[in-house]
Chains A and B, each alone.
Chain A
Amino acid sequence: MQEVIGLFAISEILRGLLSQYFSNPQWIDLFMALINLGGILTVISMSAIVLVYAERKISAYMQVRIGPNRVGPWGTIQSVADMIKLMSKEDIIPDSADKKMWILAPVLLFIPSAAVYAVFPFDRQAIFADLNIGIFYFIAVASQSTLPFLMAGWSSNSKYALVGGMRTVAQMLSYEVPMAFSIVGVVMLTGSMRMSDIVAAQQHGWFIFLQPVAFVVYMIAAIAETNRAPFDLVECESELVAGPFTEYSGMRWALFFLAEYSNLLAASAIATTLFLGGWNGPWLPGWLWFFLKIGVMIFVFMWFRWTFPRLRIDQLMTFGWKVLLPLALVNVLITGIGIYSYKLFS
């Protein structure tokens, strides 16, 4: 049952179809790669539409409002309408902006956000590139989104944007460290950085039970990495208008938005893979489990956003370096001792 509707099975069927038209296996590989790529990009762009709607509905529910309810049944196609509106907006480039960098920044931001999806295990054997440095690749590529933020902030030539850009660097670099160390705990348990190995290791028990501290540290750091409240100091409306995006409008702004939600999805997917067992689960097909768990994680992220008030920048830095990092390090130490003594006694 699981094998029939798993993503791998679907890809095998596709491969069979293609082999009727092409004889060269290299061409089939190329086509499959393109199809996978298309699939990933579809997931990313669709997710933004769905997540915006979800965010608005959830925030409305938490604030005892109704939320979007005019366009489509229960307002479901409100996001589509918004997207069309954004696309049809006038493209404004500030006069004093450093134009080349300003135009490049949103495009560049999208690259790392999309590139991390290459290592996500959507289902059994359904992973675009099962690198042996999988999770490390995620950390390395995800860290690259700092630079486009700074580029956008600096090239806008506006004080709000610049302050936002500088804060991005401070915040994202500081929280990258505890995030990486929280992941180290999981990697130590698995003995591999390959994503499929990490998922396979959780067949009989999710790592959230073995690594609760790492999970908490990861969640907090991930919120900071995705610039969401209560750590949205980069773009906090009351101080900085919109941080690095202040001067952007129309489709360029939409690209930032897309990257933000893509990052949120990526952070949830990593949490699912590392701590919640990935696509492991009974009865349902693996990819469904995967997306269900991602949905739960995203809900938790949104829940945080509408529950906690925003921190001050100095509190944020203090918390990152003086609480999260030591916690993550101690977790690594205890994990090491645990593994050693487990091996000793078994």
Chain B
Amino acid sequence: MDDLVYTIAFYILAAITIASAIGVVTKHNLVHSALLMALCFIGISGLYVLLQADFLAAVQILVYSGAVAILIVLGIMLTQRRSMENTNPNSGWPRGAAVVCALLFVVILIVIAATPWHYSSSMAAQDTPSVLARLLFTDYMVAFEAAAVLLLAAMMGAIVLAKGGEEK
């Protein structure tokens, strides 16, 4: 019964994720696109929950879905028009893009089908936050600290670029 529930939940979440991702690309209204993106992220975090990666799921919601609000605000402020219709137009060659995407999709499908996958037999970690924390502060310490430096650089850059053109 549990398996059935998980399978159904997986397909529902996958359908939500994929449908909203397609919507992000095809919608012509920037705000609609951005909101569908939030839905897409929430769908992905649902998939993480199914994989028992609860901490990651919460991070996904907090960071990605939360950032969508900022995205919309910037979208509204930068487009500056009365109506948000056609703020997110398609590219000049929608057919060409579709063909390329379809080709890439087919390639990835073939690759997935042709690769012999290994199935891990180990159980999912139970107390994910502490396992993650231990990894971050031991094995991946350099990457973790470098990420902190990266954030500092990005923040400095954002301030510099945002205030840069002021005095003219």
Chain A residues near B (Cβ < 8 Å): 26, 98, 101, 131-133, 136-137, 139-141, 143-144, 146-147, 150-151, 154, 162, 166, 169-170, 173, 176, 193
- The verdict on A133 contacting B128 (CB below 8 Å), with A143-B62, A144-B66 known, is yes
CB pair A139–B62 under 8 Å, yes or no, is yes
Our pick among A136, A141, A143 for the contact of B129 (Cβ within 8 Å) is A136
Please tell me the number of chain B residues within 8 Å of chain A, measured between CB atoms.
Answer: 24
Compute how far the CA of A278 lies from the CA of B91 in the bound complex, rounded to whole angstroms.
55
- The verdict on A133 contacting B66 (CB below 8 Å), with A101-B35, A154-B31, A166-B73 known, is no
Compute how far the CA of A122 lies from the CA of B129 in the bound complex, rounded to whole angstroms.
24
Nearest chain A residue, comparing its CB with the CB of B127: A132
- CB-CB under 8 A from A133, the residues of chain B are 54-55, 58, 128-129
Compute how far the CA of A162 lies from the CA of B82 in the bound complex, rounded to whole angstroms.
12
Determine if B16 is an interface residue (Cβ-Cβ < 8 Å): no
- CB-CB under 8 A from B73, the residues of chain A are 150, 166, 169-170
Residues 96-137 of B contacting A (Cβ, < 8 Å): 126-129
- Interface digits, B27-48 against A, CB 8 Å rule (1 contact, 0 not)? 0000110010010000000000
Residues 65-88 of B contacting A (Cβ, < 8 Å): 65-66, 68-70, 72-73, 76-77
Compute how far the CA of A131 lies from the CA of B32 in the bound complex, rounded to whole angstroms.
33
Q: Chain B contact residues: over half helix, strand or loop, or mixed?
A: helix
- The verdict on A140 contacting B38 (CB below 8 Å), with A132-B127, A133-B129, A166-B76 known, is no
CB pair B68–A147 under 8 Å, yes or no, is yes
- CB-CB under 8 A from B76, the residues of chain A are 154, 162, 166
CB pair A193–B62 under 8 Å, yes or no, is no
CB pair B35–A140 under 8 Å, yes or no, is no
Determine if B160 is an interface residue (Cβ-Cβ < 8 Å): no
Residue in A136, A150, A176 with the greatest tally of chain B CB atoms within 10 Å: A150
Residue in B35, B38, B68, B126 with the greatest tally of chain A CB atoms within 10 Å: B35
